[in-house]
A and B are shown apart, each in its own frame.
Chain A
Amino acid sequence: MTSNGTRWALTGAATVTALGVGRVVARRRRRHQPEREGGWYVVNRGITVDRPVDAVIGFWTDRERLDRALAEWATLEQLADNRWRCVARDPAGGGTEWRAEITVDGPRRLSWRVTDGPAQEGHVELVPAPQDRGTEIRAELRWRSGPVRRALGLTTGSDPDLGLRDALRRIKSLIECGQMIDTRRDPSGRSPAQEKATDKVREKLMSGGRA
């Protein structure tokens, strides 16, 4: 793998990682049924990042920066050339572990497959946006509902979609301004019980946003 390829793969790994978190945060949300194709749910989402394609790939060169950026949500570990392990922090405590295989399919396209965890695969493509608008990150995500997910009541399966949109928004924000704004725990005159109720509202307002 070229070093550009490695960097690029890191983008994918970060997407997968962020996805893991999105999934955990968003798991109780319900929306309309996504498309189904041969037993797989499929969604396509895109977001525009105000940087040239090379910069979007290059952002991930700095492994330290990446780890710092992801610190709040997950840790990322490269197991082999194309194999990655990520542990997403669950806000409710504990973590969700993923192993994924990431393949660079071309200079601007990569795909991944979760090898150990929920049945999920996807690909990301970077397309220069028109009119000096930077780069379009276009992602397709496919997943299946396994027996475990069914038992957990996750069969409608719209949550990975919300997770994908969160992940794209997060990646855009990290590249464009180095952080993801968080206003939870900002000062307020709320009692702990009121704060908890407000956190629920915040979660609804945060989760899924357009991508």
Chain B
Amino acid sequence: MRALCWEGVGKLAVRDVPEPTIRADRDIVVKVRASSVCGSDLHLINGYLPAMREGDILGHEFMGEVVETGPGVQRLKVGDRVVVGSVVACGGCWYCRTEQYSLCDNSNPQPVMAEKLWGHSPAGILGYSHAAGGYSGSHAEYIRVPFGDVGAFKVPDGVPDDAVVFASDAMPTGWMGADFCDLKGGEVVAVWGAGGVGQMAARAAQLLGAERVIVIDRLPERLGTASERLGVETINYAETDVLEALREMTAGRGPDACIEAVGMESHDVGPIYAYDKAKQTARMQTDRPTSVRQAIMAARKGGTVSIVGVYGGLVDKFPLGAAMNKALVLRMGQMHAQRYIPMLLDRIAAGEIDPGYLATHPMSLEDGARGYEIFEKKEDGCLRTVLHPQAA
């Protein structure tokens, strides 16, 4: 089959690779119909997260059709149209039992690097390097999904592939970012990053009761889309002093909750510094946490900072004093896909969220490398490139 593979820092190519097969009782094989790019892939492609190997198949946000099921699969059958959460979860450990799926104990068979870097290993993630389990990704005609009953969900008829695909990752991530804010109704929520994740976080905050949502980015098209589609307010950080603007917009209080949906490649920062042991082990570079710093400075006293942008290692100049003295609540994590997907599918079907507008650039798998380039450079108003491996 054809698959989009990583070939080294910044290099992608479509190659012929063997087809996946059922390897364990609870596996399913999915014929991929739509597979989206994600901001997280950029961290991998650019070498900021360690442990990519030449030939690894990328992609973790996808949907498709079940074409094979292992004998232990009960909830799904061949022919089902499904969306699959990016995070692999076993369904049987304490973390899965308590719906903290991205912390599953049993889904990363290669936990040693994560344990060295972070003390413990979180769950494996499909198509997300050898530190996250070494799973093949979804930018391919077919993909093996372990624990199919736990990770794959039947999608409602009538919702297009290119909309429902975002229930795999961008939507649950955004939802979790807003969920972390414990909104009671009437809050002001600021969201850093107007990518797919930030947009979905903004929508989730509205649905969970925020009265005002303010989205921060530097890309006018993305900010424009957010205000048109979601009716949010926006701040362009390239033109405006964000802290000043937020203080002023909230009559001095600061936002009740700040959601960071940017991640380690946060733009407009100084040099990348070395750090010792973790870096040696991981050949990893330091994260750039500009937007996290800003979120902490902006949040009102006693407010919440919710981080869903991905960080991998150590950060410099973390304003711990601001967080401590303002008594902030800090929440963060990889998203618990399986916890949110069924609810999100209901909301898509009910028309409460329409994520389809994120799919600005549908493309064939063969054009994958170009698709990532457009996405990374945010050319042509690109929010997300969605690859179609079954298209000619």
Contacts and interface: CB of A to CB of B under 8 A. Distances in A.
A32 B348 CA distance: 54
A188 B136 contact: yes
Contact of B146 (A48, A176, A181): A181
Contacts of A48: 94
B92 A181 contact: no
A150 B363 CA distance: 60
Is the contact region of chain A dominated by helix, strand, or loop, or is it mixed?
loop
Contacts of B120: 210
Given A172-B106, A205-B131, A187 B112 contact: no
Interface stretch (A73-81, A105-113, A196-204): A196-204
Contact of B144 (A50, A186, A190, A197): A186
A3 interface: no
Interface residues of B, number: 52
A133 B113 contact: no
A177 B92 CA distance: 5
B92 A50 contact: yes
B368 interface: no
A59 B145 CA distance: 26
Nearest to A195: B55
Contacts of B51: 201, 205
Contacts of A180: 106, 109
A2 interface: no
A209 interface: yes
B94 A134 contact: yes
Contact of B133 (A181, A190, A194, A204): A181
B366 interface: no
A50 B94 contact: yes
Interface in B16-59: 16-20, 23-26, 51, 53-57
B135 A205 contact: no
Contacts of A204: 112
Nearest to B70: A179
Contacts of A179: 24-26
A183 B144 CA distance: 10
A183 B55 contact: no
A83 to B, nearest CB: 32
B64 interface: no
Contact of B92 (A176, A182, A202): A176
Nearest to B2: A189
B262 interface: no
A191 to B, nearest CB: 8
A198 B97 CA distance: 33
A208 interface: yes
A173 interface: yes
Interface in B86-113: 88, 90-94, 97, 105-113
Given A50-B94, A177-B147, A179-B26, A187 B121 contact: no
Nearest to B13: A189
A207 interface: yes
Given A176-B90, A189-B57, A202-B134, A183 B109 contact: yes
B109 A182 contact: yes
B92 A178 contact: yes
B57 A172 contact: no
B5 interface: yes
Nearest to A133: B94
Contact of B134 (A50, A133, A186, A210): A186
Nearest to B124: A181
Interface in A116-140: 133-134
A156 B18 CA distance: 41
A194 B52 CA distance: 13
A209 B109 CA distance: 9
Contacts of A71: none
A189 B131 CA distance: 18
Nearest to A182: B109
B111 A205 contact: yes
Contact of B93 (A176, A190, A202, A209): A176
B15 A189 contact: yes
A134 B105 CA distance: 14
Contacts of A182: 23-24, 109
A176 B26 contact: no
A190 B105 CA distance: 29
B352 interface: no
Nearest to B27: A179
B119 to A, nearest CB: 8
B264 interface: no
A62 to B, nearest CB: 15
Given A184-B134, A189-B7, 12 more contacts: A177-B90, A178-B25, A181-B133, A189-B16, A198-B130, A202-B110, A205-B111, A205-B134, A206-B109, A209-B112, A209-B121, A210-B115
13 contacts: A50-B94, A173-B90, A177-B91, A177-B106, A178-B92, A180-B109, A181-B107, A183-B136, A191-B55, A201-B130, A205-B111, A206-B109, A210-B115
List of 10 A-B pairs having minimum Cβ-Cβ separation, nearest first: A190-B55, A205-B110, A189-B5, A189-B15, A177-B90, A189-B55, A177-B92, A50-B94, A176-B92, A186-B136
Interface of B: 1, 3, 5, 7, 13, 15-20, 23-26, 51, 53-57, 72, 88, 90-94, 97, 105-113, 115, 120-121, 124, 130-131, 133-136, 140, 144, 146-147
